[in-house]
Amino acid sequence: MESRQDKFVAVLDRYGLLIAGSILVVLIALFGLVGRLVVPVEMSQVGAGLPAKPPSAEHLLGTDQQGRDVLADLIYGTPTSLKIGVIAGVFGVAFGALIGLIAGYVGGIVDEVIRIIVDILLTIPGLMVLIIVASMLGAVSVEAMALIIAALAWMWPARAVRAQVLTIRERMYIQVARFNGASNMKIIFGELLPNLVPYLAANLVGAISGAILASVGLSTLGLGPMSQPSLGLTFYWAITYGALIRQMWWWFMPPIVIIIILFLGLFLMSQGLDKIANPRLQSKA
Amino acid sequence: MNLNILEVRDLHVHYHTRLGAVKAVNGASFDLHAEERLGLVGESGSGKSTIALALMRLIRPPGKIEGGQVLLDGISLLELSEEQMRRVRLAEIAMVSQGAMNSLNPVARVHRQIEDALRDHGVKQTKRERAEWIGELLQRVGLPPATAEMYPHELSGGMKQRVCVAIAICLKPKVIIADEPTSALDVVVQHQVMETLETLRAELGASIILIGHDMGLMAQTVDRIGVMYAGDLIETGSIEALFNDPLHPYTRLLMASLPSLEHKEAAKGIPGLMPSLLNRPTGCPFHPRCPEAFDRCKVEEPMLLTVQPNRGVACHLHSAEPAEGEAS
Amino acid sequence: MTALLETRNVTKVFGGGPFHRGSSVTALNNLSLTIEDEPPTITAIVGESGSGKTTFARLILGLANPTSGEVRYRGVNLRQLDRDQRRQFLRDVQVIFQDPYEVYNPFYKIDHVLEEPIANFRLAESKAHGRELIVDALTTVGLRPEETLGRYPHQLSGGQRQRIMVARALLVRPRVIIADEPVSMIDASLRATVIESLRDLNRQFGISLIYITHDLTTAYQLSENIVVLYQGAVSEVGDVERVVKEPEHPYTRLLIGSIPRPDPKHPWGIKDNVPDTIDKSVGWQKGCYFANRCPEVMKICREKIPPLYQTAPHRATACHLYNESPVVESETLNKIFIARS
| Amino acid, res. C62 | G
pLDDT score recorded for residue C271: 59
Closest to B271 measured CA to CA, from C181, C164, C189: C189
pLDDT at C260 over 50: yes
CATH number of the domain that A82 lies in? 1.10.3720.10
C189 and C44 co-located in one domain: yes
Q: ipTM value of the model?
A: 0.87
- Of the listed ranges A104-118, C216-230, C256-270, the least confidently predicted one is C256-270
Question: Average pLDDT, stretch A223-232?
Answer: 84
Pick from B43, B240, B243: CB nearest C187: B43
A161 within a domain of the structure (yes/no): yes
Which residues in chain B are closer than 8 Å to C217, comparing Cβ atoms? 259-261
A39 within a domain of the structure (yes/no): no
- Which residue of chain B has the CA closest to C218? B259
Interface of C with A in 152-181 (CB under 8 A): 165, 168
Q: Which domain holds residue A66?
A: 61-280
pLDDT score recorded for residue A134: 78
| Rounded-to-integer distance, Cα C11 and Cα C32, Å | 9
Closest to B166 measured CA to CA, from B192, B140, B189: B140
Give the distance from residue B15's alpha carbon to the nearest chain A alpha carbon, in angstroms. 9
- Residue A185 contacts C where some CB pair is shorter than 8 Å: no
Pick from C104, C106, C116: CB nearest A180: C116
Q: Containing H/E element for A219?
A: helix A193-220
C234 within a domain of the structure (yes/no): no
- Residue B272 contacts C where some CB pair is shorter than 8 Å: no
Residue where a domain stops, chosen among C171, C193, C223 = C223
Rounded-to-10 torsion of CA A104, A110, A111, A114: -110
pLDDT at B317 over 80: yes
| High-pLDDT (> 90) share of chain B, % | 32
Which residues in chain B are closer than 8 Å to A4, comparing Cβ atoms? none
DSSP A177-209: HHHTT--HHHIIIIIIHHHHHHHHHHHHHHHHH
- Full-model pTM: 0.83
C218 and C250 co-located in one domain: no
| Rounded-to-integer distance, Cα C76 and Cα A177, Å | 23
| Rounded-to-integer distance, Cα A260 and Cα A239, Å | 19
pLDDT in tens, C322-339: 988 888 877 788 888 888
Report CB contact under 8 Å: B20, A285. no
Question: Average pLDDT, stretch B136-162?
Answer: 87
Taking a C-beta distance cutoff of 8 angstroms, is the pair A270, A204 a contact? no
Give the distance from residue A284's alpha carbon to the nearest chain C alpha carbon, in angstroms. 19
pLDDT score recorded for residue C168: 95
C147 and C279 co-located in one domain: no
Cβ-Cβ contacts under 8 Å for B217 (sequence gap 6 or more) = B182, B190, B194, B210, C260
Banded pLDDT at C2 (limits 50, 70, 90): confident
C194 and C52 co-located in one domain: yes
A49 within a domain of the structure (yes/no): no
Mutating which of C186, C189, C226 best tests the B interface, going by the most B Cβ atoms within 10 A? C189
C283 and C323 co-located in one domain: yes
Phi, psi of C280, rounded to the nearest 5 degrees: -105, 25
pLDDT at A179 over 60: yes
pLDDT score recorded for residue B327: 43
Taking a C-beta distance cutoff of 8 angstroms, is the pair B259, C195 a contact? yes
Number of domains in chain C: 2
Question: Average pLDDT, stretch A240-266?
Answer: 87
Kindly tell me the burial class for residue B61, based on how many C-beta atoms sit within 10 Å of its own C-beta (0-12, 13-18, 19 or more). exposed
| Rounded-to-integer distance, Cα C162 and Cα B196, Å | 35
B to C CB pairs, distance under 8 Å: 132
A23 within a domain of the structure (yes/no): no
Number of domains in chain A: 1
C71 and C188 co-located in one domain: yes
Interface of C with B in 23-62 (CB under 8 A): 48-49
C152 within a domain of the structure (yes/no): yes
A255 within a domain of the structure (yes/no): yes
Q: Which domain holds residue C253?
A: 245-341
C182 and C52 co-located in one domain: yes
Q: Which residue has the higher pLDDT, C222 or B259?
A: C222
- Residue A172 contacts C where some CB pair is shorter than 8 Å: yes
Please tell me the number of Cα atoms within 13 Å of A115 on its side-chain side. 14
Pick from A1, A9, A285: CB nearest B16: A285
Closest to C105 measured CA to CA, from A277, A191, A280, A181: A191
pLDDT in tens, C85-111: 999 999 999 999 999 989 999 899 999
Closest to C296 measured CA to CA, from C243, C255, C249, C244: C249
Banded pLDDT at C282 (limits 50, 70, 90): very low
Taking a C-beta distance cutoff of 8 angstroms, is the pair A236, A222 a contact? yes
C72 within a domain of the structure (yes/no): yes
Taking a C-beta distance cutoff of 8 angstroms, is the pair A15, A201 a contact? no
| Rounded-to-integer distance, Cα A267 and Cα A202, Å | 10
pLDDT in tens, B25-73: 998 999 999 999 999 998 888 889 899 999 999 998 888 999 999 999 8
Question: Average pLDDT, stretch C274-298?
Answer: 68
